[in-house]
Structure 1
Amino acid sequence: MGWFGRSNKFFEFNMYAQSHLVILAIYILMTVVIFIRSKKWNDKEWRRTEIGVAISLILFEITNQLWMYVNGVWKIGRSLPLELCNIGLILCVILLLTKKKVIFELLFFIAILGANQAIFTPALTYDFPHFRFFHFFYTHLVIVWVSLYFMWAKRYSPTLGTTIKQIIFINLLLPIIMFVNKHANGNYWFLRHKPKSPSLFDLLGPYPWYIFSLESLLILLSLITWAILRKWGTNKGDRSHTQ
């Protein structure tokens, strides 16, 4: 079938094959561009771009939900926007529309740790030029780029409080995700079993111990990331964006 239809052998994704390497090259290039040009992007002229990116994320996710429904693969146990990166996408849209720093704080570590990990070790079935390939990488890349944009251009820096808020936020969501997994036979957040494709989970031990390992690793990596990146932002933005 075509680029919007269900998968066949032509669309089978292989990690670090040509299409994946091209995405990684684009990711690195755009990250460098955001860093270099960030001082020129902190003006009102970019407001339309911010709103446009938010709308594009909404349209991509709506189209993805429609794709799953039309192709008969939509299931409550795997298709709800409950994965961390799906939650990151929602937070990213809210951040672009409101510019609230509290949203940045909830998004930041999901983007830097979660979306980044997904970009480099994607749990993906569909290769280029399938729609699902574009949806996966576009949404994950934009989540990271928007977080870096707000840090470098808008001067929203992560703080120790950001780390604490993120950990509390994720742990408040945890019982909800476990409840949905149990009653919908789902595996959101990979809380019932590891992803089939190679990932960081493979280094964290067997089920259920890898969940506790992941929690400890989240805290450790969040603190390390905060320590490294805290100097990039200065929190000199409009105070109206800090609540």
Structure 2
Amino acid sequence: MFSMPHFIAIIALCLLIILVFITKKRWSISPEKILFIERLFALSLLTMEILYHVWLYQTGRWNWSNSLPLELCSISLILTIVLLWTGNRHVYEFVFFAGIGGALQAVATPVLDLSFPHFRYFHFFYTHFGIILTALYFTWVKGYRPTLKGIIKTMVALNILLLCIFVLNILLHGNYMFLRKKPTSGSILDFLGPYPWYILSLEIVAFIIFVCLWLIFRKRSTRAEYNRSKKVAT
């Protein structure tokens, strides 16, 4: 964390976000080509995740207590692939709120024991970038918009996930979603109090982040729509 490869990854993410934004009105290609690109990217994310698990198994690192896709970003990655393949708006809301929120935190404070040029470095940042960029692509390019209702649905889904994963952590002796202890390499959890209070603090932080994301990216009425609604009211 905060090494030169980490800073390079952060800079790369910022440049990619800017690229998606400035090209948002230039995706004037056929729907078939758009669908092909979306699904190709989905397959690249899936391939990268499969290769990661193959690497874990071949190096003797794979085990039930920490290798299942039960982290928030792992779940968000799976749903990102589903979103790219289906365009489902309900999936979009989870990927937008929980995916962006979780992936940004992971990129800012990566829990990694291997750095550039190892495969794990590229897997970690490629998949987390994929979550963030997909959510922004569906927002800026495809016209999807987050809603207040989406915040509530995402919070409910997260709490259901927390309960399920808490039970699985006990059964598997794991620490998925850091529900049993904080990561030793340091993260935002270090500022949120001791166990188990940091879990409640994290819920509050998540809600605040979701509201901020909604305020930034929500659909705004155009002046024409405002004037039209004003005329109807009078």
What is the TM-score when the length of structure 1 is the normalising length?
Answer: 0.87
Comparing 221-230 with 164-173, greater Cα deviation is found at 221-230
**What amino acid is aligned across from residue 10 of structure 2 in structure 1?**
L
1:151–1:233 Cα contact (<8 Å) kept: no
Change (3 A) 1:42 1:90: farther
CA shift at 1:46, angstroms?
A: 2.2
User: Which residue does 1:46 correspond to in 2?
Assistant: 34
Matching of residue 164 in structure 1 with residue 149 in structure 2 = no
Matching of residue 33 in structure 1 with residue 13 in structure 2 = no
Matching of residue 142 in structure 1 with residue 124 in structure 2 = no
User: Which of 227, 233, 239 is matched with 2:215 structurally?
Assistant: 227
User: Which of 116, 128, 134 is matched with 1:128 structurally?
Assistant: 116
User: Which of 170, 178, 182 is matched with 2:170 structurally?
Assistant: 182
SS of 1:138 mapped into structure 2: helix
1:158–1:233 Cα contact (<8 Å) kept: no
Deviations 1:188-230 (A, max 9, x none): 0000000111211011000111011111211222112212221
Structure with the bigger RCO (C-alpha within 8 Å, sep 6+) is: 1
- Paired residues in the alignment total 220
User: Which residue does 2:76 correspond to in 1?
Assistant: 88
Deviations 1:146-200 (A, max 9, x none): 0000000011110001101100111111111001100111000000000111211
Change (3 A) 1:97 1:42: farther
CA shift at 1:231, angstroms?
A: 3.3
**What amino acid is aligned across from residue 108 of structure 2 in structure 1?**
F
> What is the distance in 2 between the residues matched to 1:164 and 1:170?
10
1:157–1:232 Cα contact (<8 Å) kept: no
User: Which residue does 1:103 correspond to in 2?
Assistant: 91
Deviations 1:113-147 (A, max 9, x none): 10011011101111011111111000000100000
| Structure 1: gaps spanning 5 or more residues | 1-14, 235-243
CA-based RMSD: 1.5
**What amino acid is aligned across from residue 146 of structure 1 in structure 2?**
T
**What amino acid is aligned across from residue 28 of structure 1 in structure 2?**
C
Comparing 29-38 with 44-53, greater Cα deviation is found at 44-53
**What amino acid is aligned across from residue 16 of structure 2 in structure 1?**
M
> What is the distance in 2 between the residues matched to 1:34 and 1:80?
31
What is the TM-score when the length of structure 2 is the normalising length?
Answer: 0.90
> What is the distance in 1 between the residues matched to 2:220 and 2:140?
6
